[in-house]
Amino acid sequence: MTVLTRCAATCAAVSLLAIAACAPRPSAAVAAAPEADWPYYGGDAGGQRYSSAAQITPANVAGLKVAWTYSTGELARNGAEIEHAAFENTPILAEGRLYVCSQFNLAAALDPGTGREIWRHDPKVDPTVRYPNDNVCRGVTFWRDPEAPAGAACAARVFLPTVDRRLIALDAATGAPCPGFGKGGTVDVGLGVLLERKGQMQITSPPVVVNGVVVVGSSIDDNQRVEEISGVVRAYDARTGAPRWAFDPLAGAGPGVKAGAANVWAPMSADPARGLVFLPTSSASPDFFGGLRPGNNGMANSVVAVDAATGQPRWSFQTTHHDVWDYDVPAQPTLGDVAYGGRATPAVIQATKQGLIFTLARETGAPVIPVEERRVPQGGAPGEPLSPTQPFPTAPRPLSPMEIAPEDAYGLTPWDRGACRRLIEGARREGIYTPPSLQGTILYPFTGGGMNWGGLAFDAGRQVVYVNTSSALHLVTLIPADKVKATQQAEMDTEVSAQRGAPYGMKREVLRSPLGLPCNPPPWGQLHAVDMRTGKVLWEVPLGTTRDLAPGSQLLLGDIGVPGFGGPIATASGLVFIGAAMDNYLRAFDGATGRELWKGRLPAGGQATPMTYVWKGRQYVVIAAGGHGKSGTKPGDQVVAFALPGPLRP
């Protein structure tokens, strides 16, 4: 007898009211909501990651269900190579279509209500090339040409960046390359750049378009040599692909400096009204020895505001002086009016790997929240001209721990903890900005953050920033140049890089216990809320569990918080959505309290930033679930959309 048959028999023996109670209940109606797009990678041109959508609320978010899923097909096409990829894409919704890009740069347009594929374009990148930051496409960029007739081909276009350094313009209506852009729809961003190997330079983040100019950065392999290729940011005519300008952050680094990189690998943001593009620049090469690049290295490790029409810098603010810690600026600069101290100021809010948040005036780059130059540890490797001070904002306080002592070592058993204690004891550890050494130096936060490319979400109405951090220890050891090759051969499972041309190579490793857990105390991942009117931290909670990292360990460790990649988004109803953590969940938090209200299981790792939109009255929350190769999370190729079930009512 089936469940329904048993139910009917039981109900027949009792009252009519009981029969009604046994009958299947229809889903509750959901009030239709006003339409809301997500037309940029960061929600808006300034990267606030905030949506006016409010159909999903703290009161009903527990009812979210999977509405549709879409597979890019990459798992079947590139199954063997997907372990060297990261599905970090944030889709965008513009003019009634959802646009996504896969790990291997396949672009597709989807129906926002069903996930049905409308078109796809495969640029046919070589999946076997090994890229330093894996195969990644964080997003595409939508642009409508205000001078083109509405129905003309390529009047609206999607700009697709590729890991093999191409910028492709696609017709947003059909997915066909725009023939008038570059050569057959493609500009070779790497044209004229002399590469030692194919994977040395790639594009991982979406370009920005301002007043008909499309601007694109690049990602460059770290720690390979002193005189690395340049981190030039390039701009092209958005209609024709003709070069417009090039900006080199190291152009003013001073005489005698031998270095390259200082590239812009993270997402950029734009202020079209002011005609500005905001660049988060990385460190000069190589990361862990700067003896051949004395000084503060120009506009490396900086937020740089450039004129979108000319590429001329308007201002720059450096977050790390003479970087020898790989503390590049990793996240999209976020634009918003900040009411610190009771006065609203158009600002740039910048998250950093150090767990610091800098708040700068958008017009000038001057700190809105004061910044102090503080003394930091000295005594670098021979020939290393360290900066005596580093900048620290007075608020908010650092969101990541910066110091560790042997007695802080973490472990599940005395044996485990003792092993970590000995590792910490044997390293140089004087707090943040302790310079790399031959002894081995602890970098805390590690080079993955603090904050990373997921950036932050800013609810300007509530004046609250939401941001996630990761916490782990890196041990960086300098190796005399003549011993690098032998170290590489002896430690093949450890990252060892030559830093060719420098007197030292380097070895970088995460400090873990014999059981594989981080040697620093948890939480290893957190979500924070900061009141930007005062700079005070409102709350912080662990983010993520070890369920998918070490099955069975969650029962012992609980919701301990784990490292992650990807960032949060905020909505008008007061919700914060985030994946990121190294378990297979999308979560919703109460923005007022930090309480976790819901989590939805994903088919693979959700190391991406979600987005949300309202389509035909229904709000959807969408995330790429495909894992992160370097983190070892479960690979996949699905885009998953959640929504409240039930019929819509006006």
Quote the pLDDT of residue 166.
98
Quote the pLDDT of residue 13.
36
| 589 located within any domain | no
Mean pLDDT for the stretch of residues 627-640:
95
Tokens, residue 420: 């970590």
pLDDT higher than threshold 60 for residue 487? yes
pLDDT higher than threshold 80 for residue 545? yes
Catalytic, 337? Answer: no
**DSSP state at residue 554:** H
Nearest-angstrom CA–CA distance, 433 and 398: 14
Burial of 68-96, coded b for 16+ CB within 10 Å and e otherwise, reads bebbbbbbeebeebbebbbbbbbbbbbee
pLDDT higher than threshold 80 for residue 21? no
Q: Of the candidates 179, 405, 447, which has an alpha carbon nearest to the alpha carbon of residue 288?
A: 447
**Mean of per-residue pLDDT scores for the chain:** 94
pLDDT higher than threshold 70 for residue 1? no
Mean pLDDT for the stretch of residues 17-27:
42
| 623 located within any domain | no
| 256 located within any domain | no
Nearest-angstrom CA–CA distance, 587 and 36: 21
Tokens, residue 385: 């001209």
Tell me if residue 421 falls in helix, strand or coil: helix
Q: Of the candidates 220, 434, 423, which has an alpha carbon nearest to the alpha carbon of residue 325?
A: 434
pLDDT higher than threshold 60 for residue 7? no
pLDDT higher than threshold 70 for residue 15? no
Backbone angles phi, psi at 372, to 5 degrees: -110, 140
pLDDT higher than threshold 90 for residue 210? yes
| 596 located within any domain | no
Tokens, residue 424: 């910490």
Cα dist from 490 to 224, 229, 281, 500, whole Å: 19, 29, 34, 19
For the chain, the domain total comes to 1
Q: Estimate the share of the chain in helix, then strand, then coil, as percent rounded to the nearest 5.
A: 10, 35, 55
Q: What is the CATH number of the domain that holds 194?
A: 2.40.10.480
pLDDT higher than threshold 70 for residue 549? yes
User: For 267-279, how does the pLDDT look when each residue is reduced to its tens digit (9 = 90+)?
Assistant: 999 999 999 999 9
User: For 521-539, how does the pLDDT look when each residue is reduced to its tens digit (9 = 90+)?
Assistant: 999 999 999 999 999 999 9
Mean pLDDT for the stretch of residues 182-189:
98
Q: Is 265 exposed, middle or buried (0-12, 13-18, 19+ CB in 10 A)?
A: buried
| 116 located within any domain | yes
Q: How confident is the model at residue 555 (pLDDT cuts 50, 70, 90)?
A: low
Bridge partners of residue 284, in order along the sequence: 261
User: For 138-179, how does the pLDDT look when each residue is reduced to its tens digit (9 = 90+)?
Assistant: 999 999 999 999 899 999 999 999 999 999 999 999 999 999
More confident residue, 266 or 554: 266
Residue 4's H or E segment, with its range, is helix 3-12
Task: Give the CA-trace dihedral at 347, 451, 103, 249, to 10 degrees.
Answer: 60
Long-range CB contacts (< 8 A, 24+ apart) of 167-170? 167/203, 167/207, 167/214, 167/216, 167/236, 167/241, 168/107, 168/121, 168/123, 169/238, 169/241, 170/107, 170/121
Burial of 592-625, coded b for 16+ CB within 10 Å and e otherwise, reads eebebbbbbebbbbbbbbbbbbbbebbbbbbbbb
Bridge partners of residue 261, in order along the sequence: 230, 284
pLDDT higher than threshold 70 for residue 3? no
Quote the pLDDT of residue 557.
80
pLDDT higher than threshold 90 for residue 133? no
pLDDT more than 90, % of the chain: 90
DSSP string, 206-251: --EEETTEEEE--EE-SSSBSSPPB--EEEEETTT--EEEEE-TTT
Tokens, residue 181: 């852009």
Q: Determine which one of 326, 328, 416, 583 is catalytic.
A: 326
Query: Domain of 112?
Result: 89-199
DSSP string, 343-387: --EEEEEEE-TTS-EEEEETTT--BSS-EEEEE-----STT----
| 213 located within any domain | no
pTM for the full model?
A: 0.95
**DSSP state at residue 526:** E
Quote the pLDDT of residue 559.
80
